[in-house]
Structure 1
């Protein structure tokens, strides 16, 4: 039996209640900005629905409808739907969050309105501060399972349901297409939807996704562990010297010298080559030691267990160190400290140790490995977001598009590449997977954007063309932030390579290989 298109299926309940005209009608005035009746998602109760007409600077007038719901009576989840007063395209765009925030009520939501989408986002009942996990541990020292479930999977699904219901009741006509748009945690949320709720979205744009969360969230603490356990806290200028040396050694491997290591995983630079080099650090000359080089080798190699077996990928060679391995002086005596990546520190403190004040700087190599295993054991089924079986999403006709920066220090690209390879093994190889899931590597690009490399100019537009017109993107047009260089990013497993002739700052000088 042929499947009913998603946008028609979504319209059926409204047709039955008389909210959708059975035939096209003449253009009508903008709908009144008023609260609408919202069905409660399964297992939830609607607490309130409020509407407010908004005229934010630079954004066309829109109706902001806020739905508050609860699951336990103690959680209070806010879902906001932003509905353009005029110019609605019939599309819905759900917006994701970052770190420990489940959504974004600011610029991304307003941009959706400007582009003619009805926009929706949620706070999952947790803090809107991306680095606040005060909600995680209850007064009796246990993880709040209701809020964690909201943050991990449930609230994104409810965001989709409520966004569709509110939009269709407000405009009195069905949504034609629904899209997810997120990066980082928002990328993980998009993958969660593809894995768990295959019919929620026609298209999912999920960049730099924090998939395989339970490994990534501990693994990124590794630089702090190494420096503290090896009793060698590298100054930021020494870290920078190692980074620059790796770029210099591996930059030209792709045929272009542009300050970018296209494939950090293929860079064989040995940090021991810098031993004995003198570096000027804040007016003082320091000499790189063999211990410094060994610390750097471990950080690049990635975390291992007690027997030296690799647990996860390390920091990409050529990427910045500031967030994962950056150091700072102790205010008391000026000695250097390694504070650790905040997202990883919070995961260990709140969800593994259940002690918000736990000092991660004292962790030994053995304790780190134990925490890595504990994270996977306790939470993989909750927030791992690592199920490689996307069969239901493929059957639904959904399309998944992702780009990751090769210089991403916050979520090193190895986790996404590993996940993609598992999907291919599960679902019949690269060609079959590319029919519905396309991954693009962006050399020199950092987390969700930034860096020296060319980044996609309109990835969402490419996804819309794929979903609505069947134009699967073989490449994504990309440009550097300063506009001085362009490059077409290639669908995995192909990569963009310089042809050996032509201006290396122009996209036409590259081919997918």
Structure 2
């Protein structure tokens, strides 16, 4: 049977008999028992829904969904909670409440929102039917259930979700059990006081009543913004002020609502009327929401939560109370209440998603969403004000009317004041006048008169605030928005509040300034917040600077990027910073505590006492990079209001070593690491880089660069086509067995001078390719590969003639040996013997391997953290021999045969140090890391190119084999185990 059929009750030939409505008992055990039932309905419906902030935080943190997507879950809960009211409210009036309550209860276990909606509105209308004069008080107690439930459910939910033995499924079962137990009394005892009666599903006459329309519009706008805090307070606390106990805020927000649901109802009931109290509470609410924009710390947020929780709780409690007053006919209470709730439900459906989208498009700032919520509640106030009788606009008018009625009521027995403070003279009350009506000629009116809220007759009363017209309220909204929306986030005072430095670091200063129209390239300029953090580690006598460039919120891609340095420099200048910002990253670099000279440590290798500056060296070796990661992510979170979703390292050479040492020593610092041509095995490398110079010093022979180039050209010509392709690149290095001594006695023309290649020339080239050796010929370290530029490690400088040359070493070699290994800047490195060289090599490794070796092959912690590494090295690297990278990767592989699951190494044939050379250079290895981390796009090959061709770099130890076709296209090659 449908609702309409039950309403007409069978025959339609005769109009139905009017249903006699009994007077509400307005008290007694059964009536107050129904108040308890209603309280538990609110406990399980609105209390649970008000707790959605816990789920919002859980879904965004654990499942990684965006706030706008997750918000639809809570929005639909509210939509179904309120939206089913038009059906459930009408069904209650028609007598369906008792028959289907238990079925409705079972339904809510399947679909909480729908089940709650089918229980919520009937719970209001049934409870209110037992009261008339005390309805406001009773409904305040009922509404307090939303607060008690809002305390219990967040605490239980958070506790259980954090317990790995319970999990999400177990949590839901426990919550369902709580609802089952607490609903049993209501299921057994709930009975509507008003008998069933015929009526349409919708009372269309309500839409012709100004007060009903204004009230419905008011509540729609109010609840469009009111619930933002219940959804987003937890995430705001965690993201904006790094508050770890954000759950407590949700409990406090709901807990103080007990006060808000009880005390304002009582005050409204006894003194100023429900509508006036609602106006006052909603004004406080929208002002609070705008003030929320200015909250910057945990104590302030707790104070704000208490104030807002009280008045938001009052607004929620007064809503159903006023909804039941939208008709004087008790038989229409359920219908009218359900109609209001249904309209409001559509606003509740969209509000969380709109606010979530506003947060996202504002770079995870909450200002836009807060402005939306505050303005919505303000509009609700406008319609509440309009809901007053327009004849009572200004202070004193109600007093005048009441006094006039008081003096003219000689022929009437009673004078009454209604919900809105309007004085009326009722007819035929006799001795059955309600408590809100008093006999004429009485000087006072009882202040405690349930149901009919009133003002004392014959005394000056509080006006209904109609002077707060809509234009003034909206103007105030925009003033609040302008006051708080322009907060200077790019300022030291704002950014400094959340920074902490590892290793007990202490901040010395922070600078921050907005930079606009910075020229990044000829066709692009960028804007950013330029932040510099200066700090020290107490007792280390270091002063380190971290520079962070933050793109505008609208341009931020949600990621943080750390960039590396080169040589002795911890950073690479502003270029990588600008490139990162142009790509949407918040980007940081560190000077590691010393000047940015690439080639010498003279200015900082000693302390003020003349001792080796080991603490500062440790900063350079590893510590400063973790500091950068911590500070960069904290500042990004503070500036954008949200922690970076992903963090990446981007570096080559020293930067590549920095990336690998982060994976080894700080496995959770970055999600992905790009390491190009890394200067790992630093103690070995820094001595080995001087090996060619030592060879020349030993022979006292320094070939000019043109001779060295002749050897490079010769070996390239001999070994170029071993891979089947003539492209000026030695790709098949293992097959290249070129003998440098075959070039002895060849003639080379250098700047017009004819030079004959000698055995000494060949020996120097041979030793450069061979790498450092002990006096007995045993291996110390790798040399550069044949085909590499020999004019760096084996560099010479000629004066006047190509036959008058001296050694020109790469500066880090002698700097390392004299300063760090020997602590003797006056050591005569030119006269060093082979035995001394071997001893220096051994001392370098023994003293510094643990500090800066950067070659720990155990990456299990980084792997377990979900990290990914892309590492490539050019086979023609003239500064850092490829052998070091190959050796390291093989050692990692020996520990973990599945290393390719998280760490991929690629050789780039013919490519020099971090680029250059005749080979194909990786086009965007950094983006390969990003795609691997975020999309699980495993880099099977690494796309590369040069001016004339494209290639796919193969995962080591695979090699690129020519299959036929155009040799300039990568598609003509495939990765195979061997040539």
TM range (shorter): over 0.9
1:28 aligns with 2:369: no
How far does residue 139 in structure 1 lie from its aligned partner after superposition? 4.8
The 5-angstrom pairing of residues 266-277 of structure 1 reads: 266-277=735-746
What is aligned with 2:795?
A: 326
What is aligned with 1:314?
A: 783
What is aligned with 2:719?
A: 250
How far does residue 33 in structure 1 lie from its aligned partner after superposition? 1.3
The C-alpha deviation readout for 1:134-188, integer Å capped at 9, x for no partner, is: 2112354421011101000100000000000000001111210000000000000
1:69 aligns with 2:535: yes
Task: Indicate how the Cα distance of structure 1 residues 467 and 333 shifts in structure 2: closer, same or farther if over 3 A, else same.
Answer: closer
Task: Indicate how the Cα distance of structure 1 residues 297 and 104 shifts in structure 2: closer, same or farther if over 3 A, else same.
Answer: closer
Instruction: Name the stretch that deviates more: 5-14 or 155-164.
Output: 5-14
The C-alpha deviation readout for 1:193-243, integer Å capped at 9, x for no partner, is: 000000000000011001111111111111100011022211111111111
How far does residue 6 in structure 1 lie from its aligned partner after superposition? 12
1:470 aligns with 2:936: yes
What is aligned with 1:490?
A: 954
The 5-angstrom pairing of residues 124-139 of structure 1 reads: 124-133=592-601, 134-139=603-608
Instruction: Name the stretch that deviates more: 307-316 or 64-73.
Output: 64-73
Q: 1:345 aligns with which of 807, 811, 814?
A: 814
Output the CA distance in 2 between the equivalents of 1:443 and 1:371: 32
SS of the residue aligned with 1:487? strand
SS of the residue aligned with 1:434? helix
Equivalent pair of 2:657/2:680 in contact (CA under 8 Å)? yes
1:44 aligns with 2:500: no
1:383 aligns with 2:852: yes
1:112 aligns with 2:580: yes
Task: Indicate how the Cα distance of structure 1 residues 209 and 16 shifts in structure 2: closer, same or farther if over 3 A, else same.
Answer: same
The C-alpha deviation readout for 1:399-418, integer Å capped at 9, x for no partner, is: 01111101001111100100
1:511 aligns with 2:974: yes
Task: Indicate how the Cα distance of structure 1 residues 136 and 265 shifts in structure 2: closer, same or farther if over 3 A, else same.
Answer: farther
Structure 2 unpaired stretches of 5+: 1-60, 66-161, 163-234, 247-295, 302-351, 366-487
What is aligned with 2:242?
A: 14
What is aligned with 1:457?
A: 923
What is aligned with 1:89?
A: 557
What is aligned with 1:57?
A: 519
Instruction: Name the stretch that deviates more: 111-120 or 322-331.
Output: 322-331
How far does residue 266 in structure 1 lie from its aligned partner after superposition? 3.7
Output the CA distance in 2 between the equivalents of 1:299 and 1:324: 8
Output the CA distance in 2 between the equivalents of 1:486 and 1:15: 50
The 5-angstrom pairing of residues 302-451 of structure 1 reads: 302-329=771-798, 335-427=804-896, 429=897, 432-451=898-917
Output the CA distance in 2 between the equivalents of 1:415 and 1:265: 16
Equivalent pair of 1:93/1:180 in contact (CA under 8 Å)? yes
Equivalent pair of 1:88/1:116 in contact (CA under 8 Å)? yes
The C-alpha deviation readout for 1:29-76, integer Å capped at 9, x for no partner, is: 886311212123232111111111112113321001111110136311
How far does residue 307 in structure 1 lie from its aligned partner after superposition? 1.1
- Give the aligned length: 504
How far does residue 359 in structure 1 lie from its aligned partner after superposition? 3.8
SS of the residue aligned with 2:778? coil
Output the CA distance in 1 between the equivalents of 2:730 and 2:894: 28
Output the CA distance in 2 between the equivalents of 1:361 and 1:82: 45
Output the CA distance in 1 between the equivalents of 2:911 and 2:714: 18
Equivalent pair of 2:704/2:802 in contact (CA under 8 Å)? no
Equivalent pair of 1:7/1:177 in contact (CA under 8 Å)? no
Output the CA distance in 2 between the equivalents of 1:213 and 1:476: 26
What is aligned with 1:264?
A: 733
What is aligned with 2:348?
A: none
Structure 1 unpaired stretches of 5+: none
What is aligned with 2:485?
A: none
Name which one, 1 or 2, has greater alpha-carbon Rg: 2
The 5-angstrom pairing of residues 220-299 of structure 1 reads: 220-299=689-768
Output the CA distance in 2 between the equivalents of 1:417 and 1:106: 31
More strand by share: 1
Task: Indicate how the Cα distance of structure 1 residues 14 and 66 shifts in structure 2: closer, same or farther if over 3 A, else same.
Answer: same
Which structure ranks higher in relative contact order (CA pairs < 8 Å, sequence separation ≥ 6)?
A: 1
Could you state the TM-score of these two structures normalised by the residue count of structure 1? 0.93
How far does residue 360 in structure 1 lie from its aligned partner after superposition? 2.4
More helix by share: 2
Could you state the TM-score of these two structures normalised by the residue count of structure 2? 0.50
How far does residue 97 in structure 1 lie from its aligned partner after superposition? 0.5
Output the CA distance in 2 between the equivalents of 1:178 and 1:153: 17
Q: 1:199 aligns with which of 668, 689, 702?
A: 668
Instruction: Name the stretch that deviates more: 134-143 or 489-498.
Output: 134-143
Equivalent pair of 1:164/1:175 in contact (CA under 8 Å)? yes
Output the CA distance in 2 between the equivalents of 1:7 and 1:398: 17
Equivalent pair of 2:600/2:812 in contact (CA under 8 Å)? no
SS of the residue aligned with 1:116? coil
SS of the residue aligned with 1:187? helix
How far does residue 330 in structure 1 lie from its aligned partner after superposition? 5.2
Output the CA distance in 2 between the equivalents of 1:459 and 1:6: 28
